[in-house]
Amino acid sequence: MHSTVMKKGVTWYLTRVYMKLSENVARLGQVAQSSTYGNAKPENAIDGNRASNYNQGSCACTNNNLNPWWRLDLLKTYKINTVTITNRQDCCSERINGAEIRIGNSLNDNGNANPRCAVISSIAAGASQTFACNGMEGRYINIIIPGRTEYLTLCEVEVDGTLSETNVARLGQVSQSSKYGNAKPENAIDGNRASNFNQGSCACTNNNLNPWWRLDLLKTYKINTVTITNRQDCCPERINGAEIRIGNSLNDNGNANPRCAVISSIAAGASQTFACNGMEGRYINIVIPGRTEYLTLCEVEVDGTLSGKSCPILLVCSTFNEHIMVFGVLLIILMLIFATFQRLMLPDLDK
């Protein structure tokens, strides 16, 4: 009996861990639709139940409208990886044909004017089909049947996505090779793109050989993009030839880390974004190598996500939730060992 209870406990915990890791973010949102047929309210499509027989009461459905739509409001902007739709089984599976999935942050035309992720050619009766949206960003996810009068029936909508990171540069600490006047390194991560030097929002070094500026994100991130705002009122050419370096080493003050990009030029007062394609690092350096120069940065913005690779192996975790996850895995191992010991040493307990 004791080992049976132990196994049930392990199964419950593993189920909870799986649910946490594969959380359907649709269930965090609020929903609306163009009209409601009977009791087929829009919330039915995010109730966590793929039951596809209409009489089971788990499908959302509009009236027979022109351009019927259903909308999910995630309340925050997410990067959407996939949208999975479960079609009705007991009738009329062809009604979904030609529906579109739209994702974005606009409520123009009730959200139906946002960029399109996919067109649904068909979904078999009662089937669940997944559509890749490849990181499209948006708060709103709409499903609409454009151009015809139809019932829109959705028996479940599931969304895999991650919160769009804010500017993670503002979470870090900064330093630079030297400081010109009051142009401290923190000015470049103050959230202000003001590019006139006298506005006091730019970081600037002295006229040094190989001047550099460094952002310490305190944890390892996967860096998607780095956006740099150049000075407007003078000398925009000073940034030419600067390099963006990303990594976990402080050799040469971080300037020896792998290179994301070389900045050929940035127009005066402009903000330019450089793709780093998920390069991993705690440190982001901007350095002008090989010449004596002032390095002026009026804003540095970083889009990235925490890298979790070190947690399972080293037990060095980035968040409280990750610490709990590691503790839980260790607890499972101990529980399994205890259950095995019971079976070997105390077989009568199961009788």
Dist. CA 239–CA 287, nearest whole Å: 9
Q: Which of 267, 281, 273, 277 is nearest to 300 (CA)?
A: 273
Tokens of 200: 């006091």
The CATH T-level fold of domain 168-307 is Jelly Rolls (2.60.120)
The helix-helix angle for 2-21 and 320-345 (nearest 10°) equals 160
Lowest mean pLDDT of 79-83, 284-288, 321-325, name the range: 321-325
Residue 268 has pLDDT above 90, yes or no: yes
**What's the whole-number average pLDDT of the chain?**
87
Question: How many CB atoms neighbour CB 212 within 10 A?
Answer: 23
* Residues 280-300: tens digit of each pLDDT: 999 999 999 999 999 999 999
The region that residue 264 occupies, defined by phi over 0 for left and psi between -120 and 50 for alpha, beta otherwise, is: alpha
Residue 48 has pLDDT above 50, yes or no: yes
- 20 vs 342, more confident: 342
Dist. CA 92–CA 139, nearest whole Å: 30
Residue 68: band (very low, low, confident or very high) from pLDDT cuts 50, 70, 90: very high
- Give the end-to-end CA distance of the chain in Å, rounded to a whole number: 7
Contact (CB, 8 A) for 12 and 37: no
* Residues 178-237: tens digit of each pLDDT: 999 999 999 999 988 899 999 999 999 999 999 999 999 999 999 999 999 999 999 999
* Residues 141-179: tens digit of each pLDDT: 999 999 999 999 999 999 999 877 568 998 899 999 999
Cα angle 142, 164, 267; round to 5: 110
Q: What is the pTM of this model?
A: 0.49
Looking at residue 348, what is its pLDDT?
53
- 3.30.300.30, 2.40.10.10, 3.40.50.2000, 2.60.120.260: CATH of 25-163: 2.60.120.260
Dist. CA 104–CA 108, nearest whole Å: 10
Q: Which of 283, 273, 171 is nearest to 229 (CA)?
A: 273
Work out the burial of residue 97: count CB atoms within 10 Å of its CB; fewer than 13 is exposed, 13-18 middle, 19 or more buried. Answer: middle
